[in-house]
Amino acid sequence: MLEARDISFGYVKGEPLYEGFSFSVEPGERVALVAPSGFGKTTLCRLLAGYEAPWSGEVLCGDAPLPTVGPCPVQLIGQHPELAVDPRLRMEKTLAEAGEVPDGLLDALGIRSEWLRRYPHELSGGELQRFCIARAIASRPRYLIADEVSTMLDALTQAQIWHFLLDWQADSGAGMVLVTHSPALLDRLATHVVSL
Amino acid sequence: MQQRDRLAGHGPHGNAEKHHRHRHGPTSRHDQGHHLLQVSNLSVGFRMYDVDAPFLSAEQHMVNVIDDLGISVHSGEIIAVVGASGSGKTLLADSVMGLFEPNAAVYGEVWFDGQRMDAEALSAVRGRAGGISLVPQSVSHLDPLMRVGKQVEGFGKQGSREERRAKRRALFERYGLGEDVAQLYPHELSGGMARRVLLCCALMDDPKLIIADEPTPGLDLDLAVAALDDFRAFSDEGGGVLLITHDIELALRVADRVAVFKDGTVVEETAVANFASPDLLEHPFSRALWHALPEHGFDVTPDGGDAPC
């Protein structure tokens, strides 16, 4: 179980975004976070994935704190793929950050082999996002946090990628946290909904 | 057919006949007898090195991304551009703005307000009153070292500093950004807030044409609707909007016409009403998009999603 226990956090001293907030995801669940823009959804995602440390309380993955070395079992896919990749690495090196990429993963995400030798500025936003998803999956996470992952994809690619992610989840039994502003997508995907 | 009847008698063309490869929407009109923006025969390619050749003997070759593309924007209308990711939608926006990568080769004609434009003329109307404003796709377009309030005020080219500040305040208030937000740097904003700041930048000027490259990701439904309502109000006052988006449902609420993009060209320009049912859409890719919407089945491979065009 991925769990945030009584966490408090904020960016400005004395102005907490959350106080004593608790939240948990079981393996196989898809929990949607719902709140207006600027409410701290992305911040919560960053806390769960270990990018930020809470002021108080703890984030536990399988009853242990997140490891500080090795690949994190909680992987975050962010909403701005162009900011999540190194602009001076070819895409094949960006993918290699996650270690060995399983066979068929690139095909399943519609990543073409000629894109591997390109730099990030030579790809579109949707194409970059597929690389970010591939990189997160390749590190074999136990929990995946999808922060608006499909808003920069067309409807067809969005459906393809979510079908892929749902199949992957069914195979691996991972837990998922997702953020989306589309009510229709929420109805399709979430097993339950948490309003902040 | 109903759509055709509604359009009959409109404009100098007299009816809904296809001209310049498109049909009109109900509010489309030709001010002074020309399109607000007309792009024809646009091709964009990139010079790239052969990646597999040895380092010093690699030859350059062209990779074509946009091929013989034509699209028009009339005064008083919103045209939504939807289509596959990587099909060149952002490149279309950049071409119209005159923003080119150094290795890009751009061919074709861009006419803005009756003038044929070249790179110099485009840079002269870019972000000016009476010109073209861009709402960029990437939040990395904000200056990371400047407070956002100051950035937005800097986008206004008219009036005194006080007037610009008052206008910025009004825009921020409209989009639910407090005065404290104006004092923040871009990295302190959430995704949705940054998106709203970019919108405010484009609305600071009094442009004739707004090119909005995915303005709504990260915005909750109320804010996204507010943004699109602003585009609607802007076009009702005689401006034109080229709205590049993936959110088809949202685009259909405000747009007059929809252009469907695939592999660097427009495969179908159709009236918004035709998106009510897949049977009214002509191209297989448009139908595939319709079926893939979460509201309509979320299907991946309906009739011919990969059909050649």
CATH number of the domain at A26-53+67-195, please? 3.40.50.300
The average pLDDT across A63-92 equals 91
Which pLDDT band, with edges at 50, 70 and 90, does A76 fall under?
very high
A93 contacts chain B (CB < 8 A): no
Mean pLDDT of the A143-151 span: 91
**Residue B21: what pLDDT?**
56
A37 and B248 in contact by Cβ < 8 A?
no
Average pLDDT over residues A82-95: 93
Q: Which two tokens stand for residue A69?
A: 């070395």
pLDDT (tens digit per residue) in A94-114: 999 998 888 889 998 989 988
To the nearest whole Å, the CA of A96 is away from the closest chain B CA by: 18
Contact A184 B214 (CB under 8 A): no
- In CATH, what is the architecture of B2-131+205-296? 3-Layer(aba) Sandwich (3.40)
Q: How far apart are CA B24 and CA B78, in angstroms?
A: 11
ipTM of the complex model: 0.78
Other Cβ atoms closer than 10 A to B268: 19
Q: With contacts defined as CB-CB under 8 Å, which chain A residues touch B288?
A: 156
Q: Does A131 touch chain B (CB under 8 A)?
A: no
pLDDT along chain B (309 residues), means of 10: 35 46 62 79 87 78 87 90 84 86 87 87 83 86 91 82 90 89 90 87 86 86 86 88 88 88 86 85 88 84 43
pLDDT for the residue B102: 84
Q: Which residues contact B164 (CB under 8 A, 6 or more apart)?
A: B153, B156, B158, B204
- Which of A37, A45, A115, A187 to mutate: most B Cβ within 10 Å? A37
| Listed residue (B298, B278, B252, B219) closest to A187, CA to CA | B298
pLDDT at B24: 63
The pLDDT score that the predictor gives to residue A196 is 82
pLDDT class for A146, splitting at 50, 70, 90? very high
Reading the block at residue B127, the tokens are: 């972000």
In this complex, the residue of A152, A157, A183 whose CB is nearest that of residue B217 is A152
Which residues of chain B lie closer than 8 angstroms to A43, CB-CB?
A: 190
Average pLDDT value for residue range A184-188: 89
Signed CA dihedral, B44, B47, B50, B51: sign only: negative
Q: What is the predicted pLDDT for the residue at B308?
A: 36
Largest Cα–Cα separation, chain B: 63
Checking phi first, is residue B212 left (phi over 0); if not, alpha (psi -120 to 50) or beta?
Answer: beta
Q: Retrieve residue B178's tokens.
A: 């407090």
Task: Note the pLDDT of residue B19.
Answer: 56
Q: How far apart are CA B85 and CA A195, in angstroms?
A: 31
pLDDT reading at A54 higher than 90: yes
Q: Please say if the pLDDT value at position A126 is more than 90.
A: no
The answer to whether residues B92 and B69 touch, using CB atoms and an 8 Å cutoff, is yes
Residue-range domain boundaries for chain B: 2-131+205-296
8 Å CB contact of A37 and B219? yes
Chain B, residues 191-220, CB within 8 A of chain A, namely 191-193, 196, 214, 216-220
